[in-house]
Structure 1
Amino acid sequence: MAPRANWKGFLRLSLVTCPVALYPATSDSEKISFNQLNRQTGHRIKYAKVDADTGEEVANEDIVKGYKVDTDTFIEVTKDELDNVALESTRTIDIDEFVDRSEIDPRYLIRPYYLRPDGKVGHDAFAVIRETIREMNKVAIGRVVLTNREHIIALEPLDKGLMGTLLRYPYEVRSEDEYFDEIQDVKVTKDMLDLAKHIVNQKTGHFKPEKFEDQYETALVDLINQKRAGKPITPKERPRGENVVDLMEALRRSVGGAGETKGSKKPAKKPRKAAAGQKEMLMPITGKKQTKETVAKKPAAKSRRKSA
């Protein structure tokens, strides 16, 4: 079942309109997360909204937004006033123009969403807009309001639906000049470039996301399992970078190393199961059947408090 839509409204290309829903295309919910605890009691830490001067807790209905003018002066803005900022993009994604995908600077990309027809009507109009974008090999640019902010959104066909990518405004993108000005102009010799190209050719492949494993997430799973089993935690030695004295020699050695890596008969390490499976292995959901291995690994509860 698809998650709840982040936004519902209409997609419009000139006079062609259809109801649509916008869904997040990515999720961080499967990643391991931590709660903050009181070291002395082992209890969870909760946050309260308090008045900065009186220290008293403030109810949600008494909290309003404020724009800071100076140190002690704020301009209050209510929810109704924000809602009255009537932008058409609050309810409609109006396609303003079509551009080539290559023209969109990657720095402007924020996050992807899925766009599909909302309900049983409008599928014909949606298909016309989708196939027109596909046939023209363009990206449609429109605007949409999410979380009380108007965003630029780039729409492109994806299977039977559309993928919408939120884009940043120019004022949100920093200029590279302030970071790159101090980089020295270095003349790269043809020999160095040829060796580097050889390394690239040896390592060239195809992008397959399933080949990649979140090593930090895997390390967290191992850490938690060791602590649950009561095993001592020993810090691992951090990899140390070495200063390159002879760049040509380093490139030559890299060529040899890359060749050995590619030609090695050692089977590739299989990726672990998805994070959802890892979480179930760590903390079985109530009502689900626990495996003998899981139960055996779980130590008897000594106390409520656990040190992180």
Structure 2
Amino acid sequence: MAPRANWKGFLRLSLVTCPVALYPATSESEKISFNQLNRQTGHRIKYLKVDADTGDEVPNEDIVKGYELDKGQYIEVSKEELEEVALESTRTIEIDEFVNKADIDPRYLIRPYYVRPDGKVGHDAFAVIRETIREMDVGTLLRYPYEVRDPKEYFDEIQDVKVTKDMLDLARHIVEQKAGNFEPDKFEDQYETALVDLINQKRAGKPITPKERPRGENVVDLMDALRKSVGGAAAETKAAKKPAKKAKKATAGQKEMLMPIAGKKPAKEAAAKKQAPGSTAEIRLA
């Protein structure tokens, strides 16, 4: 089943316009999710929308949005009024200028989308725009400046430490030893794997024993720690060049458990579907 478009409108480059649709390029539906239960009965917890003063349940048709002007004082805004605010310009991705991706602060990136023509009518125009900007088929929604917090709020109190050239050289050497190509299939969501293991153990009635947490240790000699890290990075690089071992087969209990946790796709398959062909272009919904 084809995914549902999050947004439909128009893509415009100067006088060239075509209808397009945006689709989310990532998904978290494969992740394990939990329900809240009543510990005493084992029943699911149900949330009701109630009036804060009367305690009475309020049906959806009677619920409107409101902006709080002052404590307890609101301005009501209806769905129809919000739709009227959505002017024609808000349905168009206007390409005003092209900037180098490296110039964009990562904090401004929100989430990636696939951009594709909506219907057969816009295929020609879309192809022209796409080829002109080197196969633009992934767009990234950007935040507005007021949504990004000032780093001074967090780093003003950080001491101005003078780092020696020897320390920087060692640190750079560690980075160079760990350098590689981005291959999404190599990464594993260890937390998700741990959750599956936890559920399997509980289902099998096995006792849950807490694992020892790593302890933070004070670094007495930073140079010594960097030197040891260089040796460790070299060992990791050497090990990485060896043929990868085959993954251990899941136990019968794990296979049985992974089936009911509906929709959990193999990591490689999910990663392959999330990979986007071509180069990335940053866009903003006008």
Normalising by structure 2, report the TM-score. 0.83
Amino acid at match of 2:3: P
**Which structure is higher in strand share?**
1
Secondary structure at the counterpart of residue 186 of structure 1:
coil
2:171 to 173, 189, 196: 196
Contact 2:9 2:91 in 1 (8 A): yes
Higher RCO (CA-CA < 8 Å; seq separation 6+): 2
1:209 to 181, 184, 187: 184
> Which residue of structure 2 aligns with residue 140 of structure 1?
none
Amino acid at match of 2:72: D
Amino acid at match of 1:38: N
> Which residue of structure 1 aligns with residue 60 of structure 2?
60
Amino acid at match of 2:23: Y
Contact 1:32 1:279 in 2 (8 A): no
Is there any run of 5+ residues in structure 2 with no aligned partner, and where? Answer: 263-286
Contact 1:25 1:113 in 2 (8 A): yes
1:243-254 to 2 correspondences below 5 Å: 243-254=218-229
| 1:166 partnered with 2:141 | yes
Tell me the C-alpha RMSD between the 2 structures: 2.2
Deviation readout 1:195-244 (Å, 9 max, x if unpaired): 22222222121111111111100000100000111111000000111110
Contact 1:211 1:271 in 2 (8 A): no
> Which residue of structure 2 aligns with residue 297 of structure 1?
none
| 1:84 partnered with 2:84 | yes
After the TM superposition, which segments of 4 or more aligned residues of structure 1 sit over 3 Å from their partners?
A: 264-273, 278-281, 283-286
> Which residue of structure 2 aligns with residue 178 of structure 1?
153
1:123 shift after superposition: 0.8
Secondary structure at the counterpart of residue 122 of structure 1:
helix
Secondary structure at the counterpart of residue 98 of structure 2:
strand
| 1:262 partnered with 2:234 | no
Alpha carbons of structure 1 residues 191 and 92: separation in structure 2 relative to 1, 3 Å: closer
| 1:227 partnered with 2:181 | no
Secondary structure at the counterpart of residue 175 of structure 2:
helix
Deviation readout 1:252-292 (Å, 9 max, x if unpaired): 2212222223224876466689xxxx897434389xxxxxx
Normalising by structure 1, report the TM-score. 0.77
1:36 shift after superposition: 0.2
**Structure 1 CA distance, aligned partners of 2:247 and 2:85?**
49
**Structure 2 CA distance, aligned partners of 1:49 and 1:79?**
18
> Which residue of structure 2 aligns with residue 124 of structure 1?
124
Amino acid at match of 2:31: K
Is there any run of 5+ residues in structure 1 with no aligned partner, and where? Answer: 135-156, 287-308
